[in-house]
Copies of this chain bind each other. A is one copy, B any other.
Amino acid sequence: MAPYSPFLFLSETDMLTAGVSDAGRSVDVADEVFRLLHTGDYVMGGLDQNSHGLALVFPKWSPFPQMPVAGPDRRFSAMPAYLGGRFDLCGVKWYGSNAANRERNLPRSILTLMLNDKDTGEPLALMSAGALSASRTAAVPAVASRYLPARPPRTLAVIGCGVINRAIVRALLSQHPGIERVVCHNRTTSTAHDFAGWLQDEYGLDTAVADTARECVELADIVSVAASRTAPLHLEASWFTAHACILLSGPMSADTDLWTSSRIVLDHVPLHESYVNDARRSEDVSASFAAQIGGPVYELIDAGLLPPLARFEDLGGVIAADSAPHPGRTVFIASGMAVFDVAWGSDLLRTARERGIGTELELWGASPDTVASPATEGASA
């Protein structure tokens, strides 16, 4: 019998129908992933099995007038992963990103996720991964907020009032019903007011808009940083409460004291080791460091002001250790990993199958009885 490889296409609308906006569920799934990362039940790209992905890096200038050139947030990237546990499949997230997309009423990043059978490589699903990516990105600091804060949070500071922090705040509120007040700061103040208005309307929360980052963070139990890379952001240790839990989903620059006097927890130590190894092989190590959220930490390690990466804590380790919360200030650094897309995508695929959501496609082009065997057409790559 000829092979039959049906798979499911899920559009962005299908993903919403399947529950991609369910913040609580996405946080539970991300929590599972951190446990699997800690035990090692995953494979990401490359010989070190921890590569973030492989990007198309466009040149600053090209003699070819049509060739894409470097621009704000402009790149393509492929992020493959295998994830074990109850997920037990392979996948690749592939996206193109370009700040200029806004002018066309398109998201900055246009993403898809393909999931595959771990043994045969057959596609299981192709899904639009816009809301999926936002949701899994938001779930990561929300998992951190389960284990890292010194006390149950009441006041939340939001630095950067874009789509990422909107998703993060949704995820944090799903975990912390005790949050009563949200202080918002954004380079463009009107955006902070829009964000505060949304929180009032949707959650009935007490909100404020702070003109400066300093005022934004000064009373906060939790701080979520997800500002644009194009907005210079500088924070100082003395501005924060002694127990602040600072969740970084975007870059910040800070005084040395903030890094050396805080407990630093990484999302996953081997990912950062892979970043640093890649940066050391690049022509400009400082520029490569600067492109990463963990960049300031890597610089301080090289300067001898922080211990080597291998001695850092990561969130999977914190969860596994199950120790009492650290009483002081914590900085959590999240960089994004394809295993989170694979996990959350796999969960939503199960729902889509159960509920008949999506469009069925057939790889070989016909039903099992009519398709010609493709075995003789197999190819090397």
Of B56, B95, B109, B365, which contacts A14 at CB under 8 A? Answer: B365
Say whether A319 faces chain B, with CB atoms less than 8 Å apart. no
A339 to chain B minimum Cβ distance, whole angstroms, is: 11
A-B contact list, 27 entries, CB within 8 Å: A2-B105, A3-B105, A11-B361, A12-B371, A13-B365, A39-B64, A43-B68, A44-B56, A56-B90, A66-B84, A68-B118, A76-B80, A79-B381, A93-B381, A98-B119, A101-B378, A106-B122, A106-B375, A108-B378, A108-B380, A109-B378, A110-B122, A111-B121, A130-B378, A134-B377, A134-B378, A250-B380
From A26-34, A47-55, A261-269, the one touching the partner chain is: A47-55
| Beta-carbon contact of B76 and A378 below 8 Å | no
Say whether A311 faces chain B, with CB atoms less than 8 Å apart. no
| Beta-carbon contact of B109 and A381 below 8 Å | yes
Say whether A164 faces chain B, with CB atoms less than 8 Å apart. yes
Question: Given A105-B375, A375-B107, are A80 and B68 also a contact pair (CB < 8 Å)?
Answer: no
Interfacial chain B residues near A145, Cβ < 8 Å:
none
* Residues of chain A from 107 to 154 with CB closer than 8 A to chain B in the complex: 107-112, 114, 116-123, 126, 128-135, 137
The 8 A CB mask of A83-104 against B (1 = contact, 0 = none) is 0100010101111111011101
Of B41, B117, B119, B123, which contacts A64 at CB under 8 A? Answer: B41
A237 to chain B minimum Cβ distance, whole angstroms, is: 26
Say whether A9 faces chain B, with CB atoms less than 8 Å apart. yes
| Beta-carbon contact of B102 and A121 below 8 Å | no
| Beta-carbon contact of B44 and A379 below 8 Å | no
- CB nearest to A126 among chain B residues: B126
The 8 A CB mask of A334-350 against B (1 = contact, 0 = none) is 00100000000000000
**Taking the full assembly, how many copies of this chain does it contain?**
2
| Beta-carbon contact of A80 and B56 below 8 Å | yes
- CB nearest to A134 among chain B residues: B379
Of B13, B46, B249, which contacts A55 at CB under 8 A? Answer: B46
10 nearest interchain CB pairs? Answer: A96-B121, A13-B365, A107-B378, A11-B365, A134-B379, A54-B54, A133-B379, A78-B78, A110-B121, A45-B54
| Beta-carbon contact of B49 and A380 below 8 Å | no
Interfacial chain B residues near A1, Cβ < 8 Å:
105
Say whether A57 faces chain B, with CB atoms less than 8 Å apart. yes
A377 to B129, CA, bound (A): 10
Say whether A82 faces chain B, with CB atoms less than 8 Å apart. yes
| Beta-carbon contact of A57 and B67 below 8 Å | no
Of B59, B78, B371, B378, which contacts A54 at CB under 8 A? Answer: B78
Say whether A200 faces chain B, with CB atoms less than 8 Å apart. no
A131 to B109, CA, bound (A): 31
| Beta-carbon contact of A56 and B43 below 8 Å | yes
A63 to B46, CA, bound (A): 20
Say whether A167 faces chain B, with CB atoms less than 8 Å apart. yes
A56 to B107, CA, bound (A): 29
Say whether A174 faces chain B, with CB atoms less than 8 Å apart. no
Say whether A81 faces chain B, with CB atoms less than 8 Å apart. yes
A373 to B63, CA, bound (A): 36
The 8 A CB mask of A269-309 against B (1 = contact, 0 = none) is 00000000110011100000000000000000000000000
